[in-house]
Amino acid sequence: MIFRATVIALGLSLWASAGTAQTLSDAELGLRIMANRQQGNCVTCHQVTVLRDAQGIDGAAGKQGDFGPSLDGVANRYSLAQLRQWVMDARKMNPNTLMPPFGTLEGTTHASPPRPMLSLEEINKVTAALATLR
């Protein structure tokens, strides 16, 4: 009986997570990556009004940093390729930037774990999210 309940619970949670993945667009998933402290954590340095007001997104609510410029309206300032480049390696946009590179380990010596902060798939989702900030 307990075994059967566990199987049903597991099935339900798999079904629920599959359902979430299907209903959220790349841009919505990208916004979640931007708010998540273990992923993009962009809100540590950037104001993003849609995230500040978001409900139910891990890490979204509350204080946002202002070390970097607000990302509101950023899609009006850059092309899709430029937005992606900012996230991939901001040093290609401004050699003196203090924004960390999210898609490469180039220039790092002690990265731990030794992998870029975001995968290419995650960077594509974040780029899709930035493209909605008009």
Task: Give me the sign of the Cα torsion angle 47, 50, 56, 62.
Answer: positive
- CB of residue 38 to ligand HEC, shortest distance in Å: 12
Which tokens go with 134?
A: 């008009």
Q: 45, 50, 61, 75: which one contacts ligand HEC (CB under 6 A)?
A: 45
Out of 31, 35, 51, 130, which residue is the one contacting ligand HEC (CB under 6 A)? Answer: 130
CA dihedral 79, 80, 81, 84 (to 10 degrees): 120
Is residue 47 a contact point for ligand HEC (CB under 6 A)? Answer: no
Contact of 133 with 72, CB cutoff 8 Å: yes
**SS3 sequence of 63-110:** CCCCCCCCCCCHHHHCCHHHHHHHHHCHHHCCCCCCCCCCCCCCCCCC
Tell me which residues in 20-39 interact with ligand HEC (CB under 6 A).
Answer: 34
Size of the site for ligand HEC (CB under 6 A): 25
20, 94, 104, 108: residue in contact with ligand HEC (rule CB under 6 A) = 94
User: Should residue 68 be labelled a site residue for ligand HEC when binding is judged by CB under 6 A?
Assistant: yes
Helix (H, G, I), strand (E, B) or coil at 21: helix
Judged by the rule CB under 6 A, the positions of this chain that interact with ligand HEC are 34, 40-42, 44-46, 67-69, 71, 74, 77, 83, 86-87, 90, 94, 97-100, 102, 126, 130
